[in-house]
Structure 1
Amino acid sequence: MTDTHPLLGRTAVVSGAGRGLGRAISVALAGAGAVVCGVSRNAEELESLAAEIKAAGGQAYAFPADIRGSADLDRLRDAVLAEVGGVDILVNNAGNLVKRPVVPLPVDEASGEKVGQPGSGPASVAMSDEEWDSVLDTHVRGSLHLVRSFVPGMLERRRGRVINIASSSVARSASLTVSYQVAKGAITQLTRALAKEWAAFGVTVNTIAPGHFRTSMTQALHDSPEGQAWLKERIPMRRTGDPRELGALAVHLSGDLASFITGQTIFIDGGETL
């Protein structure tokens, strides 16, 4: 291990790795020397990620899979372990977002009355059970599946890092994203519970709670003048985050110098939750 490659010899599994923050984390971990196993339902995005990392001199593999159901999990686990031998770092990043109210809201949208952030959909249409389940299954069930697949080896070796990606919304609230906030709240509590359970075995578990970063999920908000004004008004630093900043935090939490940090939710939000 060197100062410039603190994760040399380590292997990381990153879910939702093909784009957005998952991609930024994957690139950062690879740049720090880790072998990255990218997981996503989108094979094309994963192949693009692996090509980008390899072009920069790193090592990466693409593992298309749907982590929400059990059908793909045994195949995914066996394929990853056959390729890399063991996993040292697990980043639970996969997520989705449905902007709908739990029940229809009596909003007169024709008059300009709005609910939610700029670009939110109509508040008069309630979220379906299928949409609710989709969000909870992706964030919570998917994370649990990956934990069960890759953490037993960490416990046996008495060394490992689990990083769960939540959201700064766990410390505040936002309209029309109740399912997302419930899912991220569950992730932060999962972090605390598992950190306590695994602390004696050398496996740390922490949450990164990002604020506003430009991703495919939030691009419409970032691209509109109304959205830009809304964001700058909310964030004391008057800017949104650079994904490389989040990647650097993930690298630190994955390394040896973070071995005494566990059970924590670390906000990276420009002061929005202050």
Structure 2
Amino acid sequence: MSSLANRCALVSGAGRGLGRAIATSFVEAGATVCVVSRNAAELEDFVATVGGRAVAFPADIRQPDDLDRLRDAVLSEVGVVDILVNNAGNLVKKPVVPLPTDGPVGQPGSGPASVAMTDDEWDSVLDTHVRGSLHLVRSFVPGMLSQGRGRVINIASSSVARSANLTVSYQVAKGALLQLTRSLAKEWAAYGVTVNTIAPGHFRTSMTKALHDSPEGQAWLRERIPMRRTGDAAELGALAVHLAGDLASFITGQTIFVDGGETL
């Protein structure tokens, strides 16, 4: 792996799943890692597991007061964040308008399609993925620009290259991250700050546990993934380490799919 010694990373949504895997890989590569999540217990468990180079910052990135407190606490603790990973996310599996069926429409295990998402549910998804990422960028990228070096990695989804029923709000939010990546990468390229997106395919996380654990879900996954397997979170972490390192300094504005060939 690339060395991230003497670098500080901040990973949102780091208490579990892919965010935790990325944060673990950063620690293993030598970085100091600020882990952010709404769940303080998960963060404390992570810090206890990896040791002294991780610092927990419980916060809800959808809340302006939490964001201000997070920014002040992190900058006071570490000075400058060199690497920002926008990973925090949520998912609502409901249609935009009710569909005239109660039968299966989305992935195995999806709920009834006859109940539409509410405005609050829509806002919750967009606020977490897009608004939260934007505010973290505003909080920590100025320091990167001042020092002439920095990395921003947005975590999207392979679903941006296809479509999936009952996840419109999620796909819209992830699509916005792709355009945010391209726009900010061009705006900051002259200042040594790169911006890239990782678009994972199917990995077993708490969000997708039901799908991965059911025989029906396993069969559905094997059928659609050419490699006939799902991803290992460590594989995603290794890519994040590379993008965060010096050897990736000429890569910016890109979306890299890690999906076993599903979007081919």
* TM-score, normalization by structure 2: 0.99
Residue 165 (structure 2) aligns with: 175
Question: Does residue 52 in structure 1 map to residue 49 in structure 2?
Answer: yes
Question: Does residue 244 in structure 1 map to residue 234 in structure 2?
Answer: yes
Residue 37 (structure 1) aligns with: 34
Residue 11 (structure 2) aligns with: 14
What is the CA–CA distance in structure 1 between the aligned matches of 2:49 and 2:21, rounded to whole Å? 11
Which of 68, 78, 81 pairs up with 1:87? Answer: 81
1:207-234 CA deviation, whole Å, 9 max, x = no partner? 0000000000000000000000000000
Question: Does residue 103 in structure 1 map to residue 102 in structure 2?
Answer: no
Kindly state the Cα deviation for residue 74 of structure 1 after the two structures are TM-superposed. 1.7
Residue 73 (structure 1) aligns with: 67
Q: Return the letter of the residue paired with 1:152.
A: P
- 8 Å Cα contact 2:4-2:29 kept in structure 1: yes
Kindly state the Cα deviation for residue 151 of structure 1 after the two structures are TM-superposed. 0.2
- 8 Å Cα contact 1:5-1:31 kept in structure 2: no
Residue 217 (structure 1) aligns with: 207
Kindly state the Cα deviation for residue 5 of structure 1 after the two structures are TM-superposed. 6.1
Kindly state the Cα deviation for residue 72 of structure 1 after the two structures are TM-superposed. 1.2
1:20-77 CA deviation, whole Å, 9 max, x = no partner? 00000000000000000000111000111111110xxx50000001111211112111
What is the CA–CA distance in structure 2 between the aligned matches of 1:180 and 1:233, rounded to whole Å? 23
* Inter-CA distance 5–190: structure 2 relative to 1 (3 Å threshold): closer
* TM-score, normalization by structure 1: 0.95
Q: Return the letter of the residue paired with 2:88.
A: A
What is the CA–CA distance in structure 1 between the aligned matches of 2:230 and 2:94, rounded to whole Å? 24
SS of match in other structure, 2:55: strand
Kindly state the Cα deviation for residue 84 of structure 1 after the two structures are TM-superposed. 1.1
Same amino acid, percent of matched pairs: 81
Q: Return the letter of the residue paired with 1:46.
A: L
What is the CA–CA distance in structure 2 between the aligned matches of 1:179 and 1:81, rounded to whole Å? 32
SS of match in other structure, 1:119: coil
Structure 1 stretches (4+) deviating beyond 3 angstroms? none
